[in-house]
Amino acid sequence: MRLVPFGEYVPARSLLGWATSVGRAAGEDRHPGTRQVVMETSGGLRTGPLVCFETAFPDLSRRLARAGAGLIVAQSSTSTFQQSWAPAQHASLAAVRAAESGRPVVHATLTGVSAVFDASGRPVGPRLGTDRSTTGLYEVRPASGSIAYVRFGDWAVYAAVAWLAVAGGVVAVRRVRGRGDR
């Protein structure tokens, strides 16, 4: 759905294609999917997949929850960013997506920080770091139902910005009128 700029495609390649010769930019463009899907296992578990960079976008996990996913699984490989803060930050995005969607999130990586979060965004067991190759077994309960952010999305943010604009306008008008009375 959402590709990593310069990692999975070069935006405006005809203008910026030179980036492939000076860095590790994508030599060829990947193609994004056309729609999100919720996968159902034979046991009835409905899982919503996210791929790597997609964990940075709250609307994607929100849509998966709205479509009935009881669990969100994000897979990633952050090999380009080893020995930096990026793998831990990437894993922490999964906690935010869990809290926003009300769904547990499993952030599984080939290289990077793997972590599991419950539907409130709290860690379930220890993170698996970049310092070793290992596996972990975690127990999470799929979630159902809907929380406010899944139902309404970003409307609260837009309403707050509109309210601040109106309040700022009222204050500005009062100040201008107050100067005219002097």
Which residue, among 57, 79, 60, 78, has the nearest Cα to 69 in the 3D structure?
Answer: 60
Query: 136: which 2 tokens?
Result: 């972990």
pLDDT in the model for residue 20: 78
Q: What is the value of pTM for the model shown?
A: 0.79
Average pLDDT along the chain: 88
Domains of the chain: which residue ranges?
A: 1-33, 35-146, 154-182
CA 103-109-112 angle, 5° bins:
115
pLDDT in the model for residue 180: 65
Q: Is the pLDDT of residue 157 over 70?
A: yes
Helix (H) or strand (E) holding 40: strand 39-40
Q: What is the mean pLDDT of residues 157-171?
A: 96
pLDDT in the model for residue 100: 94
CA–CA distance, 85 with 69 (Å, rounded to integer): 30
pLDDT confidence bin for 45, thresholds 50/70/90: very high
**In terms of DSSP bridges, do strands 105-109 and 71-76 run parallel, antiparallel, or are they unpaired?**
parallel
pLDDT confidence bin for 167, thresholds 50/70/90: very high
Q: Which residue has the tokens 């201008």?
A: 176
Q: What is the mean pLDDT of residues 68-94?
A: 87
Q: What is the mean pLDDT of residues 76-99?
A: 86
pLDDT in the model for residue 19: 79
Give residue-wise pLDDT tens across range 2-25: 887 777 778 887 888 787 777 776
The CATH class given to the 35-146 domain equals: alpha beta
